[in-house]
């Protein structure tokens, strides 16, 4: 017997055409989404490169701004040093140095930097670094007696702790009772 060729009904070929049409639409949609993904990936790479460049430029700009703020201080130091050769008295030179010092503090203040007060304050390990302990009987225990190096904070955050001498009162020694010896 010879097998007969089966004829497919018209519905089946229409269904195949519909499925082919859906497949083509989905393929087109996939290609569009893939193209968008490639554009987003390229945009992200460009964003990363641009961000790194902007950060570098921002840091350079801030450095330049800080240096420009310090240049007048350097100019005044030069003027003060030039006056030392003129035979001026030590008081005039000291006054010039004081002016430059105050100007430097003002320039730092503009940047959000302030000195940490230490002398006479209670020792605070977050702001002070105890270098030496000394016993001063008239002072309270744990009080900063002397500031060896100024500390600074910037916008409320400590950038350098003050190096200080702290009062440490000696512990009261317990009176020892003399030992009695048994003599026999």
Question: Does 135 share its domain with 92?
Answer: no
75 and 107 co-located in one domain: yes
For residue 30, what pLDDT is reported? 96
The model's confidence at residue 83, banded by pLDDT at 50, 70 and 90, is: low
Residue 128 lies in a domain: yes
Task: Read off the pLDDT of each residue in 9-37 and give the average, rounded to a whole number.
Answer: 90
pLDDT of residue 176: 47
- Across the chain, mean pLDDT equals 81
Q: Answer yes or no: do 132 and 88 share one domain.
A: no
What is the reported pTM?
Answer: 0.54
DSSP string, the chain: -PPPPPPPPHHHHHHHHHHHHHHHHHHHHHHHHHHHHHHHHHHHHHHHHHHHHHHHHHHHHHHHHHHHHHHHHHHHHHHHHHHHTTT--HHHHHHHHHHHHHHHHHHHHHTTEEEEP-TTSBP-TTTEEEEEEE--TTS-TTBEEEEEE-EEEETTEEEEPEEEEEE-PPPPPPPPPPPPPP--
Same domain? For 92 and 38 the reply is: yes
pLDDT band at 66 (very low <50, low <70, confident <90, very high): confident
Same domain, 31 and 104: yes
Is residue 92 domain-shared with residue 126, that is, in the same domain?
no
| 149 in the same domain as 107 | no
User: Does residue 180 belong to any structural domain of this protein?
Assistant: no
- Say yes or no: 148 and 65 in one domain: no
For residue 34, the domain's CATH number is 3.90.20.20
Asked whether residue 6 is assigned to any structural domain, the reply reads no
Asked if residue 36 and residue 119 are part of one domain, the reply reads: no
Q: Are residues 131 and 89 in the same domain?
A: no
- 84-109 pLDDT, tens digit per residue, is 666 567 777 778 788 888 888 888 88
**pLDDT in the model for residue 184:** 47
pLDDT beyond 50 at 124 = yes
Counted domains in the chain: 2
For the cut 60, the answer to whether the pLDDT of residue 179 exceeds it is: no
Domain residues for 76? 17-111
Q: Does 156 map to a domain?
A: yes
CATH code for the domain of 127: 2.30.22.10
- The pLDDT of residue 22 is above 90: yes
């Amino acid at each position: 017997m010879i097998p007969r060729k089966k004829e497919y009904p018209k519905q089946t070929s229409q269904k195949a055409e519909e499925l082919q049409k859906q497949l083509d639409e989905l393929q087109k949609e996939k290609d569009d989404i893939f193209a968008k993904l490639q554009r987003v990936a390229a945009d992200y790479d460009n964003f990363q490169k641009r961000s790194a460049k902007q950060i570098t430029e921002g840091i350079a700009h801030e450095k330049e701004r800080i240096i420009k703020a310090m240049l007048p201080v350097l100019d005044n130091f030069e003027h003060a040093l030039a006056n030392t050769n003129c035979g001026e008295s030590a008081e005039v030179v000291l006054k010039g140095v004081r002016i430059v010092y105050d100007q430097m503090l003002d320039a730092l203040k503009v940047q959000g930097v302030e000195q940490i007060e230490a002398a006479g304050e209670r020792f605070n390990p977050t702001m002070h670094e105890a270098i030496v302990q000394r016993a001063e009987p008239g002072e309270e225990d744990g009080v900063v007696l002397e500031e060896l190096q100024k500390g600074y904070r910037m916008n409320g955050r400590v950038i350098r702790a003050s190096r200080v001498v702290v009062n440490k009162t000696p512990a009261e020694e317990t009176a020892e009772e003399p030992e009695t010896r048994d003599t026999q």
